[in-house]
Amino acid sequence: MGTGTRFVRILVRALLLIAALSSLLLAVRAYDSRTGPPLELWHTYVPEELSAGQIDGSDWNAYLRHEDSLFEQVRREVTDRLPTSAQVMSNRYFKNSPIYPPGFDHDWNRSYEMLPPGKPLGAVVLLHGLTDSPYSLRHIARIYVAHGFVAIGIRLPGHGTVPAGLTDVDWETWMAATRLAMREARRRVGPNCPLQMVGFSNGGALAMKYALDSLEDSRLDRPERIVLFSPMIGITRYARFAGLASLPALLPPFAKAAWLGIVPEFNPFKYNSFPVNGARQSHRLTVALQEELARLARIGQLAKLPPVLTFQSVIDSTVSTRAILTAMYANFPSNGSELVLFDVNRRAKMGQILNPASPLALSRLIPRFPVAYRLTVIANAPSGSENMKERVVEPGSTQWQTRELDLVYPPQVFSLSHVAIPFPPDDPLYGTRQDEESGTKYGAALGTLVPRGERGGLIVSLDTLFRIASNPFFPYVLTRLDATIGEPVRRSGTSRQSFDRSMSTPAATTSADSPGIQMDGMSDDAVTEEDLSAATP
């Protein structure tokens, strides 16, 4: 028997095995889809969003008018048709529920513009994450407004209405909405004022993709700075096969196969249910982003990239922290970019239940120095002072510089999370600190819930409530943003003296209802310096 014949037989057997395994997995997926909770109206009704081409040919006011029609569709086709079984206080689509968004003073599911009291000094576009809404970056928007910027928070297509909206949308439409928001930002402030972009999670990928596109497309206004929170530069391998997981949904009896999770909708500003298509589109976006980053790096085009400031938890179950370093920051030129990593709590008394890999996450991420960007680590130690320490390596350096911060890890918190970083502890919905008034502002105070009881007694799993949803180190984020927004753009590493000045900048006052802001367009291992130095060649 010839070598070629043997190879063909081996190949055929391998293909047959793959086909058999795929069929088995699809059969299991189809069976699973017949169990669990049923699909509700908000899982089956899909509002009629604009296409990417229609958005590219539209303007901000037309987008808002269409947005109005979407929410009217949801009221007519979902809220007004709820069966009696769905008319419960924990359903955001029930009009008598305390978490019914149209019942609030302002529905943060909708796109918004915030205007400073005087003449704008610039504009910022804020892009929320997957299954999220413009609510998630409203605190960041108000920081920019305090600096004299117009803040534009756009509701990305498929979001803010019903979870089914994400079953029939693609990432190219999200990019079209991003371009629309940037056009509106330029219109608002004129040709000479700076534009900045802020992206959270999936919105971070969109912000970076737009910035890269603008390097080669002169029709796109180029941002002067980019700020990212838990950016979705890379996601889990499972997302690659998300399209296959939904194949049984082509047959009506297996419609639930189009969903990775079907959960009661008790959050007024974020979907709890998660469609397969959402994961698939995010994966397609990250693949396109990583390919463009690598290509532009090869041909030297990233030299024109604006500075990027990223805030990221070392432990993140949604996005790949490693991809942020290896697929993005490793390609950056020396342009003043910075990555801020929040370490785990090394004083948390959870040794018996803490994953042994968690305390090692930081040491496994630290790159070989020198690098072209500034790396900042916010961490504590298991003994000695309980205060957090900020450790910084400047671009081109191999030495850590350390300073103590007036911040501590809450003792019951073992790490930050993917969703926590842009929210202050007193956020009315997600914060861990609530007063009587703010705790009822949006019908729920999800960040303060610490339920104890028997399994099966709640409408959701404890995993949903266990994840920290606000950032105890938000004052640090705020101070860094104050300095970043106000300082001129740099094309090289920032000096230590300028960093010291930034840390002494008083925090801006940006309460939940800041005066002077106008709303428009809204119908047990320590990580010591020695440990960190071990990564240095």
> Which residues, 6+ apart, have CB-to-CB distance to 470 below 8 Å?
420, 423, 424, 425, 427, 430, 431, 432, 447
Instruction: State the burial class of residue 102 (Cβ atoms within 10 Å of its Cβ: 0-12, 13-18, 19+).
Output: middle
Instruction: State the burial class of residue 109 (Cβ atoms within 10 Å of its Cβ: 0-12, 13-18, 19+).
Output: buried
Cβ atoms of 170 and 131 within 8 Å: the answer is: no
Q: 338 in helix, strand or coil?
A: strand
Per-residue pLDDT of the chain (537 residues; tens, 9 = 90+): 566 677 667 766 766 665 555 444 444 444 444 456 899 999 999 999 999 999 999 999 999 999 999 999 999 999 999 999 999 999 999 999 999 999 999 999 999 999 999 999 999 999 999 999 999 999 999 999 999 999 999 999 999 999 999 999 999 999 999 999 999 999 999 999 999 999 999 999 999 999 999 999 999 999 999 999 999 999 865 555 454 454 444 444 444 777 988 999 999 999 999 999 999 999 999 999 999 999 999 999 999 999 999 999 999 988 999 999 999 999 999 999 999 999 999 988 876 777 888 889 999 999 999 999 999 999 999 888 999 999 999 999 999 999 999 999 998 899 999 999 999 999 999 998 866 545 568 888 888 777 767 767 776 776 666 788 999 999 999 999 999 997 554 444 333 333 333 333 333 333 334 434 555 543 333 334 333 433 332
pLDDT recorded at residue 89: 95
SS (H, E, C) 520-536: ECCCCCCCCHHHHHCCC
Would you tell me how many other CB atoms lie within 10 Å of the CB of residue 452? 6
Choose among 242, 240, 177: nearest CA to 206. Answer: 177
Q: Which residue has the tokens 């915030």?
A: 114
> Which residues, 6+ apart, have CB-to-CB distance to 402 below 8 Å?
389, 390, 391, 392, 529
pLDDT recorded at residue 501: 31
pLDDT recorded at residue 283: 93
Q: How far apart are CA 429 and CA 442, in angstroms?
A: 6
pLDDT recorded at residue 398: 96
- pLDDT tens figures, 86-141: 999 999 999 999 999 999 999 999 999 999 999 999 999 999 999 999 999 999 99
pLDDT recorded at residue 127: 98
Amino acid identity of residue 496, one-letter, is: R
What's the pTM?
0.84
> Which residues, 6+ apart, have CB-to-CB distance to 303 below 8 Å?
333, 335
Torsion region of 60: left, alpha or beta (phi above 0 gives left; psi -120 to 50 gives alpha): alpha
484-486-490 Cα angle (round to 5): 60
Q: What token pair was written down for 255?
A: 């419609």
- pLDDT tens figures, 288-340: 999 999 999 999 999 999 999 999 999 998 899 999 999 999 999 999 999 99
Count of residues making up the chain: 537
Bridge partner residues of 150 (DSSP) = 123
Q: Which residues of 236-261 are buried (b: 16+ CB within 10 A; e: fewer)?
A: eeebeebeebbbbbeeeebbbbbbbb
* Residue 382: C-alpha distances to residues 71, 290, 345, 353, 408 (Å): 50, 37, 8, 17, 12
Estimate to the nearest angstrom the gap between the alpha carbon of 118 and the chain centroid.
Answer: 31
pLDDT recorded at residue 34: 47
pLDDT recorded at residue 187: 97
Q: How far apart are CA 36 and CA 39, in angstroms?
A: 9
Q: 51 in helix, strand or coil?
A: coil
Choose among 485, 530, 536: nearest CA to 143. Answer: 485
Choose among 418, 417, 420, 410: nearest CA to 380. Answer: 410
Bridge partner residues of 488 (DSSP) = none
Q: How far apart are CA 445 and CA 431, in angstroms?
A: 7
Q: What is the four-CA torsion angle of 11, 17, 21, 27, rounded to 10 degrees?
A: 110
Q: How far apart are CA 414 and CA 412, in angstroms?
A: 6
Helix (H) or strand (E) holding 150: strand 149-154
Q: How far apart are CA 443 and CA 18, in angstroms?
A: 50
SS (H, E, C) 450-517: CCCCCCCCCCCCHHHHHCCCCCCCHHHHHHHHHHHHHCCCCCCCCCHHHHHHHHCCCCCCCCCCCCCC
Cis, peptide link before residue 370, omega less than 30° from 0: yes
Sign of CA dihedral 461, 445, 507, 527: negative
Q: What token pair was written down for 439?
A: 């705790």
Bridge partner residues of 338 (DSSP) = 309, 374
pLDDT recorded at residue 397: 96
pLDDT recorded at residue 3: 65
pLDDT recorded at residue 18: 55
Q: Which residue has the tokens 């930081």?
A: 362
